[in-house]
Amino acid sequence: MKQSVSMLLLSLSLGILLVVDIMLFAALGIPSPIPWIVLAAIIAIPYISSRMEKRRFVSWDDGYSVGIEAIDNDHRKLLNLINNLQAAVHYHTGTDFENQALNELIDYTVFHFDREEGLMQKHGFPGFEAHRQIHEAMIAKVQGFVEEYQQQGADALEKLAEYLKAWLVNHINGTDQEYGPYLRSKGEK
């Protein structure tokens, strides 16, 4: 749903609730708890809505660090690109911006996978092949989503953006942590 439409619906619902609440106050009187409960809900709804909005975006956490500067910088950049894509999708900035944000994220992901795999291979990391296969499976899955997006448009892009966000954050915070100590022991920093 378009952001402007959902904001309008939210304002409209809050307006209706406010009118209903005034009528409840008039009918039940100030001592009744029911109009006060409804009033608390009217105040809480915009707060909950803005909290949900913030959860859409991701930010760097020092716990994500693998202790290798070039990789950490790549991961920071990927998080920024994820946020750009989330913003483009959520605020419906138009097909050109959405495609640009999507392509930048996918291109940088592929570039970053190459860098990681190069380092793992160079130092003979024992988990290299398994890690490479995880990267490969992700790229194949994303390609499937991209085809779906090309056929179905906006809804599929939202699904794709969510998948990329969840996958990359999980991977940075999980599988990528496994090679950190090994590569650092080989002098990478």
Binding site for Fe ion (CB under 5 A): 116, 176
- In the complex with Fe ion, which residue's Cβ is closer, 21 or 176? 176
User: Is residue 15 a contact partner of residue 22, using CB atoms and an 8 Å limit?
Assistant: no
Output the smallest distance, CB 112 to Fe ion, in A.
6
Long-range contacts of 120-127 (CB under 8 A, 24+ apart): 120/179, 120/183, 123/182, 123/183, 123/186, 123/188, 125/179, 125/182, 125/183, 126/182, 127/178, 127/179
Output the smallest distance, CB 79 to Fe ion, in A.
11
Compute the distance between CA of residue 12 and CA of residue 5 in angstroms, rounded to an integer: 10
Output the smallest distance, CB 131 to Fe ion, in A.
6
Compute the distance between CA of residue 6 and CA of residue 157 in angstroms, rounded to an integer: 18
**At residue 33, what is the residue type?**
P
φ, ψ (nearest 5 deg) of residue 157: -70, -35
Output the smallest distance, CB 115 to Fe ion, in A.
8
Compute the distance between CA of residue 177 and CA of residue 55 in angstroms, rounded to an integer: 23
- In the complex with Fe ion, which residue's Cβ is closer, 99 or 177? 177
Q: Which residue is nearest to Fe ion (CB)?
A: 176
Compute the distance between CA of residue 81 and CA of residue 75 in angstroms, rounded to an integer: 10
- In the complex with Fe ion, which residue's Cβ is closer, 114 or 155? 114
- In the complex with Fe ion, which residue's Cβ is closer, 98 or 116? 116
Output the smallest distance, CB 71 to Fe ion, in A.
6
- In the complex with Fe ion, which residue's Cβ is closer, 119 or 161? 119
